Amino acid sequence: PSNIAAHMEGGKGDVEKGFAESDAVVEFTYRTALVHQGYIEPEAETVHWHADGRIEIWANSQGMFPLRQNMSNLLKVDVSNIKVTALEVGGAFGAKNTPRITPIAAILSRKSGKPVKIVLNREEVLKATGPASGAVVTVKMGATKDGALKAAQARLVFGAGGFPGSPVLRGMQTIFACYQPEHTKVDAYDVVTNAPRVAAYRAPGATVATFCGESTMDELARAIGMDAMDFRIKNASKTGDRGVDDEEFTRIGIVEMLEAVKASDAYTRPIKKGENGWPVGRGVGIGWWPCGVGVSSARIMVNEDGGVDVAIGVVDLHGIRTGTAQVAAETLGIEADEINVHTVDTDSIPPAGNAAGSRITRSLSQAVYTAGSSIIRQMKEKMAVRFGVDVEYVEYEDGNFYARDNQDSKVSFKDAGAAVTQNGSNIVATASNDPGMRPANGYAMSVADVEIDPDTGKVQLTSFTMFQDVGRCVNPTQVENQMQGGAVQGIGWALSEEYVFDDQGLMRNASFLDYRMPTALDLPMIECVILETPADDGAFGIRGVGEPPIIPPPAAIGNAIKDAAGVRMDRLPMSPERVFAAMKERS
């Protein structure tokens, strides 16, 4: 018997040959703890199993349709007899992808004949809903003195909790994704442990893997006496390169990001020193995420007054309705405030996937663009009759329809919509994106400045800048919100967050008082730099934004601690006790 649930391998070439050809080889083993997603709203759902067999669910979930399918599988009820209505979700970060309390509420409703609502308290959330994996990771890398990355090898062991299913595959895909070593080998193990069953957490697997990989990259740059940024630029992945899983990278701008960071004020300015004379340091880290595609659906309808309704089949976790209105407005050539966007239930629109994987804005935008283009074609057909011309002679430009060579015939979209729907005609289009779209890889980089109290080991961030390539920025405010939120979660992962168990296996910090997430008082202003390398597939070149910014902060902070105190931290979180112990051991 073994608690190894799965073993996956990836790579290319011969790493032993690469290490033999290297002028310097470094190897480190890292350990990370279980951490929670830290969403503010706990799980809260209501289910009514009606006497006629139909089930209604009001869901605190990241996806209505996947929840409906899961409930159908669990309860042996046809999906046509299950209706799911999505509620506003007060945070999820991957943890609410799968049903937890919904089946229990359904069974209790069937038993009682009444609607049943279940709301978890914070202790129940922390103990029972699934944290992110803890891991043990060994990384070995070698390079020549001129900076050629000859070999990279990793052994990733991720804890899955009581049942298989850790995100170790994503860790395997992401650990070396930003670079192109000549030889690579990655072994990934999914291991069952006596801990809570893990769940997804914003870029699952990537934050841990990147902390280990980027820490080792920094050590290797020191070993060959090369500037850490120059070393990264020399070995960076480019469009058309492949990862350890042999997946080809679509259009990316990692080199351009690295060069932008190297030239930035965040990287070149002197490190601010405090009056107390504590050690200060600066570190960088870069992370990669594949970004999902999946299916999203949208329906656009022109109302009798010429206004536009957009119904979507995905859950709005981060203001997707605002972005959708902007994309629809761009497609239709009208103003965003003329468009009403709302999420409908599973009875009202074709299926869509979870709001997960940094996929929604990109995939939904493609669906909206397709449906919007159909709306314009339909309205041209209707206006051709009114203009008395063939449809190919109807033009649409700057929000106006007109007959070619007759600018005086201009009719605004709103007036045209009102006119063509007055007689009961419908102008409606429903579309889904192509799930076979090429992925638009995401990547982000952090620059962190720290000072360290030598008497306690407490690490204080004095400056933090996040760089991210978003492909095409739909809404800068929302993009910055995602970047800052991800950065803060990564900072908490780096410095303070972990599950603490006693010798009886009981969790001892199951409250937000004791489970230490960072607050505004712990943080500097998170500066954001938005870069744009449009994706090579999909509407407007949009990339996913939500997950990449959580990935690099622990690596950047770990590298900053090394710069400040000369110690390599090999455990997360890098708590005051651990930093103090490392500094004391070094001295």
- CATH code where residue 184 lies: 3.30.365.10
CB 176 within 8 A of CB 216: no
Domain contains 405: yes
Domain boundary among 394, 410, 432: 432
Residue 411, classed as helix, strand or coil, is: strand
Domain contains 281: yes
Q: Name the strands in the sheet holding 459-469, side by side, starting at the edge strand that comes first in the sequence.
A: 280-289, 442-452, 459-469, 526-531
pLDDT attached to residue 450? 98
Per-residue pLDDT for 274 more than 90? no
- The phi, psi pair for 574, rounded to 5°, reads -90, 70
Domain contains 201: yes
Could you tell me if 372 and 487 lie in one domain? no
Could you read off the pLDDT of 475-519 as tens digits, one per residue? 999 999 999 999 999 999 999 999 999 999 999 999 999 999 999
C-alpha pair distances (Å), 62 with each of 94, 170, 357, 387: 8, 20, 11, 47
Question: What total of structural domains would you count in the chain?
Answer: 4
Could you tell me if 467 and 421 lie in one domain? no
Could you tell me if 417 and 451 lie in one domain? no
Could you tell me if 403 and 302 lie in one domain? yes
Residues 50-78 have a mean pLDDT of 97
pLDDT attached to residue 406? 86
Could you tell me if 265 and 146 lie in one domain? no
Specify the pTM.
0.96
Could you read off the pLDDT of 453-471 as tens digits, one per residue? 999 999 999 999 999 999 9
pLDDT attached to residue 129? 92
Mean pLDDT of the chain: 96
Could you read off the pLDDT of 316-352 as tens digits, one per residue? 998 899 999 999 999 999 999 999 999 999 999 999 9
Domain boundary among 128, 150, 177: 128
Could you tell me if 20 and 147 lie in one domain? yes
Could you tell me if 25 and 56 lie in one domain? no
DSSP 514-578: TS----GGG---EEEEEE----SSSGGG----SSGGGSSHHHHHHHHHHHHHS----EES--HHH
Could you read off the pLDDT of 154-188 as tens digits, one per residue? 999 999 999 999 999 999 999 999 999 999 999 99
Domain boundary among 378, 398, 432: 432
Could you tell me if 148 and 183 lie in one domain? yes
Could you tell me if 171 and 32 lie in one domain? yes
Could you read off the pLDDT of 223-248 as tens digits, one per residue? 999 999 999 999 999 999 999 999 99
Domain contains 247: no
- List the domain range (segments joined by +) for residue 90: 44-128
CB 582 within 8 A of CB 575: no
Domain contains 245: no
Per-residue pLDDT for 422 more than 90? no
Could you tell me if 91 and 157 lie in one domain? no
- Maximal CA-CA distance, the chain: 89
Could you tell me if 381 and 446 lie in one domain? no
Report the Cα 13 to chain-centroid distance in Å. Answer: 31
Domain contains 313: yes
Domain contains 241: no
Could you tell me if 141 and 49 lie in one domain? no
Domain contains 242: no
